[in-house]
Amino acid sequence: MTDRRRHHDMGGLPDSEPVPTREHLFEPWEKRVDAIKALLSDDKRNLLTTDEMRRGIEDLGADAYERYNYYERWISSITNTLLQKKVFTVDELGRKMAEIEARQEDKPL
Footprint on this chain of other proteins (rule: CB under 8 A):
4-6, 8-15, 17-24, 26, 29, 31-36, 38-40, 45-47, 49-52, 54-55, 57-58, 65, 68, 70-72, 75-76, 78-79, 82, 85, 87-88, 92-93, 96-97, 100-101, 104, 107, 109
Closest CB 52 distance from other proteins, rounded Å: 6
What Å distances lie between residue 68 and 64, 71, 78, 103, 104, CA to CA?
Answer: 5, 8, 14, 25, 22
Q: CB 66 → other proteins: shortest distance, Å?
A: 10
Q: How far is the CB of 71 from other proteins (least distance, A)?
A: 7
In the chain, the DSSP E strands lie at none
How long a stretch of residues is the chain? Answer: 109
Question: Cβ closer to other proteins: 54 or 61?
Answer: 54
CA atoms of 44 and 86, how far apart (whole Å): 18
CA 14 to chain centre: 26
Nearer to other proteins, 29 or 61 (CB): 29
